[in-house]
Amino acid sequence: MNTNYETLELRREGGLLWLILNRPYVLNALSRTLVNELHTVLDELHDDQGVRVVILRGAGRAFCAGLDLKEANAASGNGSVAQGLRDQRRIAELAIKIHRASQPFIAAVCGPAAGGGFALALASDIRIAGESARMNAAFIRIGLSACDVGVSYFLPRIVGSSIASELLLTGDFIDAPRALATGLVSRVAPDAELDRVAEEMARKILRNSPLGVRLTKECLRYSVDAPTLEAAIAMEDRNQILTTQTNDVREGVAAFLEKREPRYEDA
């Protein structure tokens, strides 16, 4: 995987990839270059099964402040409605690609995660907050709809419709303690410990079989919108039978019986 980017920092540690938004001087706001480089990385991840878990975070004191409004304002009025829609969809597809990626994404949120930055965190599979984390759907505060970049899909599924409606209609920030209480994040850590906590969680995922992790993320994704219990169980049954045909499940059972750590080979 290419690691030479203008607005991103990538660190590969075995099966773990640190994906760091690297525009700290503007709170990692989403510029056109950052959006394009994120697309490049996400497309490469689709074909790189060597990366098994991704930790997404921002450099400096923020996760992501959302769209770079100075850049967007400078470009306003220079395109058609059709071009505007294409640009809008280009940003929204980041959330789709994170959601569809076979690798679990852990969003380590420190400081503000606003607008599009909030959307990137919501699209991730797991969210961990630093004590300074503050998240909001900022779009409505500047005259737009709060429903943008998949937020109206993810947020009510995570926290329920009442809290989602409150956050989307007011544009208010939700801080780390309330985010934990509502289930928006799975845990809160001191800012100085956030990377360590995120990495510990990633390592716990990495100790499991590669295929088992991929199928689990896929099944969770489909089960959230499954029309019936039977439909969800059909997917679960398929996954269990697929995994029983692998060498990894035999290794996992042997390791359990022998009271040792398994050595999975994704085979």
Domain contains 264: no
pLDDT at 2: 77
Number of domains in the chain: 2
Residues 174 and 222 in one domain: no
Residues 72 and 157 in one domain: yes
pLDDT at 80: 82
pLDDT at 73: 67
Q: CA-to-CA distance for 116 and 147, rounded, in angstroms?
A: 11
Q: Tokens representing 103?
A: 């690798």
Domain contains 263: no
pLDDT at 75: 62
Instruction: Give the end of a domain, one of 189, 206, 223.
Output: 206
Residues 181 and 217 in one domain: no
pLDDT at 105: 98
Backbone angles phi, psi at 165, to 5 degrees: -60, -40
Residues 179 and 250 in one domain: no
Q: Tokens representing 212?
A: 């088992």
Q: CA-to-CA distance for 93 and 72, rounded, in angstroms?
A: 18
Residues 178 and 223 in one domain: no
Domain contains 139: yes
Q: CA-to-CA distance for 146 and 257, rounded, in angstroms?
A: 52
Residues 225 and 104 in one domain: no
Q: What is the pTM of this model?
A: 0.94
- Residue 136 β-bridge partners: 114
Residues 111 and 36 in one domain: yes
Q: Crossing angle, helix 210-224 and helix 247-257, to 10 degrees?
A: 110
Domain with 235 in it: 210-257
pLDDT at 148: 92
Residues 169 and 218 in one domain: no
Residues 137 and 215 in one domain: no
Query: What are the pLDDT tens digits along the chain (267 aa)?
Result: 777 899 999 999 999 999 999 999 999 999 999 999 999 999 999 999 899 999 999 999 999 999 998 887 666 666 788 888 888 899 999 999 999 999 999 999 999 999 999 999 999 999 999 999 999 999 899 899 999 999 999 999 999 999 999 999 999 999 999 999 999 999 999 999 999 999 999 999 999 999 999 999 999 999 999 999 999 999 999 999 999 999 999 999 999 999 999 999 987
Q: What are the C-alpha distances in Å from 108 to residues 123, 174, 257?
A: 13, 16, 35
Instruction: Give the end of a domain, one of 206, 227, 244.
Output: 206
pLDDT at 81: 87
Q: Looking at residue 90, which CATH number applies to its domain?
A: 3.90.226.10
Residues 189 and 127 in one domain: yes
Q: Tokens representing 18?
A: 């640190």
Residues 44 and 73 in one domain: yes
Residues 165 and 189 in one domain: yes
pLDDT at 196: 98
Q: Mention every residue, 6+ apart, whose C-beta is less than 8 A from residue 94.
A: 35, 38, 39, 42, 116, 119, 120, 123, 149
Domain contains 243: yes
Domain contains 1: no
Domain contains 262: no
pLDDT at 172: 97
Instruction: Give the end of a domain, one of 206, 224, 244.
Output: 206
Domain contains 169: yes
Domain contains 265: no
Residue 179 CB: number of other CB atoms within 10 A?
24
